[in-house]
Structure 1
Amino acid sequence: MAAERSRLAAVGYFFGSAGIAVVFIGITGIQIRLLPPIVGFSLFVLGSLVGGLGATLLGSIGMARRKHMPLESDRTRTLKATALGAALLALILLAAGTGGNAPPINDITTDLKNPPAFAPAQEVSAYLERDMSYPAGFIPVVKTHYPELAPFESPLAPKAAYAQALATAKAMGLNLVWQSAEEGRFDATQTTSIFRFVDDFTVRVSASGTGSRIDVRSKSRDGQGDMGANAKRINDFLSRL
């Protein structure tokens, strides 16, 4: 029985330690460009979820039997397993919580009838072998979850509005990858700090009455959901305008 309790403490501690190691490898691998963002993120989820659940479950069982463990080292290991498990689960819950109730889509725009197009693939190599068209299935989802998104009506003439939009994008820290002042369009990217996911961002400025209309589109390169990041970026951009 004592040996069984000792194994329980050891396995729980292993789950917690292994989970921390996998999370560290995932994030560090992304930061030093050794792992693609989606691979590093998958390791983060795997380490946090599997390691967290395993360590918390076994640690909790061990805590309930802690007073029957003859060795102080086993009691300490059980306590550490529970703490590591709780920390790992807190990480995954924190990451999931940033998206709130965001729908599982990754392409958002202010113009669902005529979404702004990204530059031709021959102009931006990152678009090669990628479908940059707007998914028709996302349209009703955006209408339901992001009803506040709408084109920005500017009193400025198109050229002045374009210059303002370009300056706003740069002020947000977006990286410009293509522009056409003649067409009133430009493309940019934004990279997240921890997982280094890259999102594509395009702006279209057109004449509207005596002023201009500014439409925006933001699209994630990885994953099926964006945890609300694209809508947040668009709202940030429009509010700055």
Structure 2
Amino acid sequence: MIRSARKRHWSRWLYRVQWTLLAIIALAVAAVRLGLLHYLTAFEVFKYAGLAAVAVALASILVFIWGLVKRHPEARSAALWATILGAIPVAIPLFTVGEHNFRAPPIHDISTDLKNPPAFEAVLSLRGPGDNRADYAGDAVASQQRNSPLYEDIQPLLLNMTVAEATELAASVAEELGWRVVAKSPNKGRLEAVARTPVLGFTEDVVVRVKKEGQGVTVDIRSASRSRAADFGSNGQRIRTFLKEMTSRAEGR
């Protein structure tokens, strides 16, 4: 006699739901990167799908406890996987954005020089009608950056080299960081590039200005988002990484 297959426990639907929610989030990410979905709409998808995943994870913890009490290994296993999967929508933003960056002021244009920030020129032709304005918003933005502890380390960089050498070094660092250099003028001390954020691929424009200062040069950099009203610290982090790499490379020359 053929024995009938053992009926699967309903708890398996917990991790199936979590996989479905993660698939929805992944599709929203892909749609934003391909330009098929506006980022604000995607954020709504992330919010509600993420909250649903957390709710299922919390319910799964209760199921896991029930499985322990009832000695039900299938329920325990399903609940454990559902709990782990439910943590992913929370862990990814914390890992990619950083918990401290969620406290960043709602600005999208960061510069080492708040009085006379470097101006965009070459990247202007790459911007569309719906993008943010390329000109600096003045004290309305500068005061928020100046008063935020998050940006205390965003300062001009002093290097003991010529303008041309510093500009070439800046171009080398930019390419190493994965930016697309769109304009470079070593003699004028100018560099413009385009960068993208890691997950959603938001476009952010970068301009580097090198000026002679005594026996060396001053390097200023400005990074601004094309479309977002707030950048969650991404422009500041880009500048921070650039300045750190520039310092390291200059010291190793």
Q: TM-score by structure 1 length?
A: 0.74
Q: How does 1:17-96 map to 2 (within 5 A)?
A: 17-30=19-32, 33=34, 35-36=36-37, 38=39, 42=43, 45-46=46-47, 49-63=50-64, 65=66, 78=79, 80-96=81-97
CA 1:43 to 1:13, structure 2 compared with 1: closer, same or farther past 3 Å?
farther
2:141 to 113, 116, 138: 138
Is contact 1:188–1:202 with CA below 8 Å preserved after alignment? yes
CA–CA distance in structure 1, aligned partners of residues 163 and 121 of structure 2: 19
Aligned to 1:153: 158
Q: How does 1:229-240 map to 2 (within 5 A)?
A: 229-239=234-244, 240=246
RMSD: 3.6
CA–CA distance in structure 2, aligned partners of residues 48 and 97 of structure 1: 20
CA–CA distance in structure 1, aligned partners of residues 108 and 145 of structure 2: 10
CA–CA distance in structure 2, aligned partners of residues 128 and 155 of structure 1: 41
Aligned to 2:108: 106
Q: Which consecutive segments of 4 or more residues in structure 1 shift more than 6 A?
A: 71-76
Q: List runs of 5+ in structure 1 lacking aligned partners.
A: 1-5
CA 1:15 to 1:151, structure 2 compared with 1: closer, same or farther past 3 Å?
same
Secondary structure of the structure 2 residue equivalent to 1:212: strand
1:178-204 C-alpha deviation (Å, 9 max, x unpaired): 344564322101123332122211011
1:78-116 C-alpha deviation (Å, 9 max, x unpaired): 555434323443334434536546513322111011111
Residue identity in the other structure for 1:20? L
Aligned to 1:200: 205
CA 1:47 to 1:11, structure 2 compared with 1: closer, same or farther past 3 Å?
farther
Alpha-carbon deviation of 1:39? 6.1
CA–CA distance in structure 1, aligned partners of residues 82 and 190 of structure 2: 54
CA 1:87 to 1:148, structure 2 compared with 1: closer, same or farther past 3 Å?
closer
CA 1:196 to 1:99, structure 2 compared with 1: closer, same or farther past 3 Å?
farther
2:169 to 132, 140, 164: 164
CA–CA distance in structure 1, aligned partners of residues 100 and 49 of structure 2: 17
% identical aligned pairs: 25
Alpha-carbon deviation of 1:213? 2.0
Aligned residues: 233
Farther off after superposition, 214-223 or 180-189? 180-189
CA 1:160 to 1:11, structure 2 compared with 1: closer, same or farther past 3 Å?
closer
Is contact 1:16–1:54 with CA below 8 Å preserved after alignment? no
Residue identity in the other structure for 2:57? T
Is contact 1:108–1:231 with CA below 8 Å preserved after alignment? yes
Farther off after superposition, 196-205 or 85-94? 85-94
Aligned to 2:220: 215
CA–CA distance in structure 1, aligned partners of residues 169 and 26 of structure 2: 41
Residue identity in the other structure for 2:59? L
CA–CA distance in structure 1, aligned partners of residues 111 and 95 of structure 2: 27
Is contact 1:51–1:88 with CA below 8 Å preserved after alignment? no
Aligned to 2:125: 124
Alpha-carbon deviation of 1:119? 0.8
Farther off after superposition, 99-108 or 212-221? 99-108
CA–CA distance in structure 1, aligned partners of residues 193 and 37 of structure 2: 20
Please state if 1:190 is matched with 2:195. Answer: yes
Q: TM-score by structure 2 length?
A: 0.71
